[in-house]
Amino acid sequence: MAKRSYEIDMCNGPLLGKILRFSIPLMFSGILQLLFNAADIVVVGQFVGKESLAAVGSTGALNNLIVNIFLGLSIGSSVLVARYYGAQNWKKVHEVVHTSMLVSAVSGVILIFLGISLASLLLEAMGTPEDVLNQAVLYMRIIFAGMPAMMVYNFGAAILRAVGDTRRPLIFLLIAGIINVVLNLFFVIVFHMGVAGVALATVISQCISAALVVVCLIRSSGPYKLYLKNLSISKGMLLQIAKIGLPAGIQGAVFSISNVLIQSSINSFGSVAVAGNTAASNIEGFVYTSMNSLYQASLSFTSQNIGARKTHRIVPVLLQCLGCVVVIGVTMGTLAYVFGSQLLSIYSSESEVIEYGLGRLGVICTTYFLCGIMDVTCGSIRGMGYSVTPTIVSLTGACGLRILWILTIFQMNRSLFSLYLSYPVSWAITFAAHMTCFIIFFLRWKKEHPPIKEEQESVVQRG
């Protein structure tokens, strides 16, 4: 089947140009998605006050904790679509797409009940400051009311990424992002709705991006075309998605647990420290999501080449993604720190907030490339179909070490610097472990799955 212009042939030809063609739109998509939260934080910080800024920021780690298990399933969907697409098994691609999209909607409904019912209890357990607790609960409950839209968009975008289409999700997020910013200003300045207004604006914009990605899949002429009447959950396919995606989701959730513990420790320094940390975290998010585009590239390119039995391309994919992520991480991380004061002043004009934010940027942003190379290596392992081991490695090396750090080193030196230092240390150790696992798994896969001979490559399964 001829590839459409939106798709990328990941299994033939030079890699670097295609990796960049895949990653750059995805990078901008991630940045636009972050602008949803950035717009919330900037508007409440400038037009409402630091308590509202802290209220919005204090929910981030907790939201991720609840959502990440379900979002992990979208990784399983992406890996399987890419693998079957590379193998040109269109029947299986169709099955994954329709199972995934129905799972996304069901997951979103479950998340509504989890988020709304647990918001107050969990925010109190985190030690959220009393002066921001009520606003934080309100913000979190409204955000979770829009979870079905968020899940549908993320699963749909994962399907498009699997075939190399990262441009249309960028367009959808651009449209939704502009609407989000306009509605933020309208609800807060005109109607004085505070955190409720920015939350509502975010939910509306997510509904728009979800609708756009669904229409895109319905109108597609490729093997990943969505037929609403064919939506159903295949038990076998769901098990395959869960086998790959659930460990990734659990990893994300446990990562969030360590971040919740860190957020709880930051909360002990007061609402001004929380506000500074919130602003700095948002700036870091732009660096992280830019690097994460290379994680997605390593995942998709590896998966498609595994499906096509192009084993010789797996190591070059990893090495070129590692090179790109180091350049992005070092460049953007350094710029974020150098221009930290100016960037933080966008979120708040209070000098104390800016000072606390600079303290975090100085540790995290200057070493952020370590997180990038850790994630890219993990993406290549998952792309080969191994999901449990990288999860165990990440939980032990990153999450476990951070929790141990909080309970030991942070207790001996209760400063924000010692708390933030747990991040680069855990990234470096976990990257080394992931690279060791990649070498072992690659050699095993190469031995068990010899590449298809050239004369056999035209005789691939089409389903």
pLDDT single digits (tens) 232-256: 999 999 999 998 888 888 877 777 6
Mean pLDDT of the chain: 86
286-306 pLDDT per residue, tens: 899 899 999 999 999 999 999
Output the CA torsion 246→251→256→259 (10° steps): 180
> Is residue 181 within 8 Å of residue 39, measured between CB atoms?
yes
Convert 252-303 into a string of H (helix), E (strand) and C (coil): HHHHHHHHHHHHHHHHCCCHHHHHHHHHHHHHHHHHHHHHHHHHHHHHHHHH
| First and final C-alpha spacing in the chain | 13
| Range in 16-20, 43-47, 69-73, 287-291 the model is least confident about | 43-47
Give dist(CA 315, CA 311) in Å, integer: 8
| Rg over CA atoms, the chain | 22
This prediction has a pTM of 0.80
Q: What local confidence, expressed as pLDDT, does residue 452 receive?
A: 56
Structure tokens at 211: 């609708």
Q: What local confidence, expressed as pLDDT, does residue 1 receive?
A: 41
Kindly give, in sequence order, each residue whose CB lies less than 8 Å from that of residue 358, ignoring residues fewer than 6 positions away: 280, 340, 341, 344
Residue 327 has pLDDT above 90, yes or no: yes
Residue 346 has pLDDT above 70, yes or no: yes
Q: What local confidence, expressed as pLDDT, does residue 457 receive?
A: 42
- Residue of 169, 364, 188 whose CA lies nearest to 266: 364
**Domain ranges in the chain?**
16-451
> Is residue 274 within 8 Å of residue 262, measured between CB atoms?
no
Q: Predicted confidence band at 437 (pLDDT cuts at 50, 70, 90)?
A: very high
